[in-house]
Structure 1
Amino acid sequence: MSVIEQKTPEGVAAGITTRPSPWRFWFVTERKIRALRGYASSAFITSIANPVVYLLALGVGLGSLVPGGVQGVDYLVFVAPALFAMSAVFVANEESTYQILVGFRYRPIFTAMHQTPLRGVDIVVGHVTFVAIRMLATAAIYFLVIIAFGGISQWSALWMVPIAAMTGMALGSLIMAYAATITTDRGQLPMLYRLIFVPLFLFSGTFFPLEQLPVFLQPIGWISPLWHGAEWGRVVSYGHVEPTWLTVVHAVYLAILIVLGVTLAIRTFTKRLSS
């Protein structure tokens, strides 16, 4: 069903239908895909170049100083799943922070969308769908990069692509819900990066097993989507041994965060757009 009704004989639009359609969110997704051309270079740097630099500096460079490897595998193989998940987190940071703030405050495209039959839920689902597509595309490209450097040891590692996307969405959906509440920009998002993203990056078992951290820092990893994504990725990437129940916890925890974040984002968008 078309969103725009047939024009009258005089050539004036008769109006826009308000009947709900389960696919209306795709208009938001398509708009985001087209708008991506405006910041394609920035998107490439944050989602591909940054993780590749980390892979070269840490997986290859630092890895040469760890000849014994970690957990019975080469250091590059160990660190690759975590950097893989980080590639999706970089996308989440870009698309769920300033893109949301700009869409509400500085270039109120969300308000304009809401003047059409698009509801808050359509806008959120459309935006989330775009972010998921971008994460999957980024992860797929990064997968090829890791293969080129020898960081993949078995074909089951292909599961790292959706796992990375789930990791990014688990964090990004929550950040998106928070960013939608910001009405006055007082530097909340830079502080969020320093106080949330950086600690999670450092204390989520990214570069070494979480057990090597002091006991009082390990809980940061337990609640971090990045740790759950990295550990799950290691299981499918090179057969990291862990209890089956823990692998299930990784999947369930990420899924719960995604549902929670998207639900909060829908409520926040709907409330703000209706006020």
Structure 2
Amino acid sequence: MATADAMALRAFQYWILRYRRTWRGTVVISIANPLLFLVAIGVGLGRLVGPDAAALGGVDYLAFFAPGILAAAAMQNGIIEAAFPVAVNRGPGGAYPVAAGTPLEPEDILHGHLLFMASRVVLSAAVFVAVMVAFGAARSPLVLLTLPAAALTAMAFALPSAAWAVTLTDIRPVNGIFKWVVMPLYLFSGTFFAVEQLPAVVRPIVYATPLWHGVDLCRSLSLGTVSWPLALVHIGYLTCLCGLGYLMARRLYRRHLHA
């Protein structure tokens, strides 16, 4: 009998085969859009922001903005790779009910899809980091660690998103997540400007958001200003969110995907 790992790999292979036919449609959203943000805002608008701005820590805007948009793009890609595909494929005619009718267990379906999600967000983040370095946006060799940091940020959103999406019988609620989650976090998690520029009463709310932890971790690594105790707080926060999301997803996949 095949092991659980082998069964999960079979599910992963399905997503890889499927992606070979659809990858062109994902490039714009997951890679091109963030890179256009980087060029238009970081390089273009950034020239209007003086490097001596105290709120930027004395670095130019491109160096400040690039790791922030890396983390924000990772969040967006994590949600895109989880919420939409899971919601679509758990319905009638989707891949999940078909897989549930095979020897695959709900956990195998979950694990295989999670492996695919992780591979997608890592690939997108790797391309972005390479462009950051090419544009001279990195200030430290520690920028290489922004790749696992961005991947962790992405999965901190992907796992809870998958857990929620597998409960849906209609994909329309997924559209609301971009209006009520993605855009507010993009704007108020330190991606475009320092959190210190926000009113003092708002800052504790920002510090509690997962994206701020991802942004601050990626930015401190890229700039070489990392405080390792604070970095461990960021990593611990995002890891706990991944763990909670996984436990929720595992339970809900069992409930909704029994053949």
Task: State the TM-score bracket (shorter-chain normalisation).
Answer: over 0.9
Residues 1-275 of structure 1 mapped to structure 2, 5 A cutoff: 17=1, 20-68=3-51, 69=53, 70-185=56-171, 187-240=172-225, 242=227, 244-274=228-258
1:240 alignment partner, SS class = coil
Structure 2, gaps ≥5 residues long = none
| TM-score, with length taken from structure 1 | 0.88
The letter for the 2-side match of 1:256 is C
Aligned partners of 1:129 and 1:247: how far apart in 2?
A: 25
Q: 2:91·2:97 contact (CA, 8 Å) conserved in 1? A: no
**Identity %, equivalent residues:** 35
- Of stretches 213-222 and 156-165 in structure 1, the one that deviates more from structure 2 is 213-222
Aligned partners of 2:96 and 2:208: how far apart in 1?
A: 31
Q: 1:203·1:217 contact (CA, 8 Å) conserved in 2? A: no
| TM-score, with length taken from structure 2 | 0.93
The letter for the 2-side match of 1:194 is K
Aligned partners of 1:24 and 1:177: how far apart in 2?
A: 20
1:38 alignment partner, SS class = helix
Q: Which is helix-richer, 1 or 2?
A: 2
Aligned partners of 2:215 and 2:174: how far apart in 1?
A: 25
2:251 alignment partner, SS class = helix
- Of stretches 80-89 and 246-255 in structure 1, the one that deviates more from structure 2 is 80-89
2:190 alignment partner, SS class = coil
- Of stretches 49-58 and 106-115 in structure 1, the one that deviates more from structure 2 is 106-115
> Offset of 1:23 from its aligned partner?
2.8
1:144 alignment partner, SS class = helix
> Offset of 1:22 from its aligned partner?
2.7
Structure of greater Rg: 1
Q: Quick one: structure 1 residues 203 and 53, their matched pair in 2 at CA, closer, same or farther if it must change by over 3 Å?
A: same
| Aligned-residue RMSD, C-alpha | 1.7
The letter for the 2-side match of 1:81 is P
1:230 alignment partner, SS class = helix
- Of stretches 27-36 and 99-108 in structure 1, the one that deviates more from structure 2 is 99-108
> Offset of 1:140 from its aligned partner?
1.1
Aligned partners of 2:222 and 2:252: how far apart in 1?
A: 37
1:168 alignment partner, SS class = helix
Q: Could you list the structure 1 runs, at least 4 aligned residues long, displaced by more than 3 angstroms after superposition.
A: none
Corresponding residue pairs, total: 256
Structure with higher RCO (Cα < 8 A, 6+ apart): 2
> Offset of 1:241 from its aligned partner?
5.3
> Offset of 1:251 from its aligned partner?
0.5
Cα deviations by residue, 1:95-137 (Å, 9 ceiling, x for unpaired): 1111011111153211111122211111111111111111111
1:274 alignment partner, SS class = coil
Aligned partners of 2:85 and 2:214: how far apart in 1?
A: 24
The letter for the 2-side match of 1:33 is I
Q: 1:136·1:161 contact (CA, 8 Å) conserved in 2? A: yes
